[in-house]
Amino acid sequence: MIGNDFQPSLTPNNVYIGANNDLLVYAGSAERLRVSNNGSVGIGTPLTSNPNGYKLAVNGKIGGHDVQIERTSSAWPDYVFKSGYNLIELKQVEKFIKDNGHLEGVPSETEVSEGGYSVGEMDVTLLRKVEELTLYVIEQQKKLEAQQAQIEELKKGLDSKNKKERSSKF
């Protein structure tokens, strides 16, 4: 049934245009889809329960092959690799984790459970943490290589000393 300001009897498969020119689709005696006159879309949820004013509100999983994020509100974190970036000491990272139960700059479980999170902003945050982690790994690798070089020098010194001691015995 299609009509302007038609109030459906909520029988399956009704489609109508409401009083405020919203397009509504009913199936199984419940509203399943609404396209509001302002361009907002609600799937499986009435737009009246959309307190954040999303253009697309979905009650359920969304499936797809890809999501393209056009822009983010944050700068892309390549700045982590530029000279002058203040990479905090790992001991400070450890202390923050012990004190707060999460990484600095990453929302806590409570913050996410209360307010959700932006996928675009979380991508930026996680990439920054991966880039910082990469710098920590590089720093650790340099220390390991320096320690290995010291070990090799000590071995050479011991081998040389042992050779001299063996040759002096004969």
82 shares a domain with 41: no
Same domain, 46 and 110: no
Is 10 part of any domain? no
Q: Are residues 107 and 34 in the same domain?
A: no
Q: For residue 91, what are its two tokens?
A: 């001991």
Residues 118, 156, single domain; the answer is yes
With a CB cutoff of 8 Å and minimum separation 6, the contacts of 109 are 101, 102
Task: Please report how many Cα atoms fall inside a 13 Å half-sphere around the Cα of residue 153, on the Cβ side.
Answer: 6
Q: Residue 15 forms beta bridges with which residues?
A: 25
Number of domains in the chain: 2
Residue 146 pLDDT greater than 80, yes or no: yes
Average pLDDT over residues 19-32: 80
40 and 121, same domain (yes or no): no
pLDDT in tens, 91-145: 999 999 999 999 999 999 999 999 999 888 899 999 999 999 999 999 999 999 9
Q: Are 103 and 93 in contact, with CB atoms under 8 Å apart?
A: yes
Least confident window among 3-12, 15-24, 68-77, 130-139: 3-12
Query: Is residue 128 one of the residues assigned to a domain?
Result: yes
Mean pLDDT of the chain: 85
Q: Which residues contact 46 (CB under 8 A, 6 or more apart)?
A: 31, 34
- Shared domain for 39 and 121, answered yes or no, is no
Residues 157 and 104 in one domain: yes
pLDDT above 50 (res 49): yes
Q: Which residue has the tokens 């409570």?
A: 110
Bigger pLDDT: 146 vs 156: 146
Asked if 12 and 28 touch (Cβ cutoff 8 Å), the reply is: yes
Range of the domain at 90: 77-169
- In this structure, are 98 and 153 located in the same domain? yes
